[in-house]
Amino acid sequence: MTSEELNIAFTDAVDRINEHKEHFPADFLLRLYAYYKKATNSYSGPSTGSKPLIAAFKTNALFQIQNISEDEAKQTYIDLVNNYFLYRK
């Protein structure tokens, strides 16, 4: 897959998630969050907020994927989305 094709597929996957109206499982959302942040290079440091436990989970998720490339993060995000919609009940 070329870089352009990867970017198009990633954007399509993000759109599918954003357009979906039902709730997602929390662990799935956490993985999407981490891969999205890595894929878009929009990670600016430890997560903060009004809920320290949630911030800790987000920070841990980002820590776990720190050694992958942006392209790997995009592909993993695409795979997560495709698998979710393929196997959801």
Mean pLDDT on 57-75: 94
How many distinct structural domains can be found in the chain? 1
DSSP 8-class letter at 24? P
The pLDDT confidence band at residue 89, using thresholds 50, 70 and 90, is: low
List, as one string, the DSSP characters of 46-84: S--SS-HHHHHHHHHHHHHTTTS-HHHHHHHHHHHHHHH
Q: What residues make up the domain containing 57?
A: 3-19+26-87
Res. 83 pLDDT band, cuts 50 70 90: very high
Structure confidence at residue 46 (pLDDT): 60
CATH number, domain with residue 48: 1.20.80.10
pTM for the model stands at 0.88
pLDDT confidence of residue 76: 98
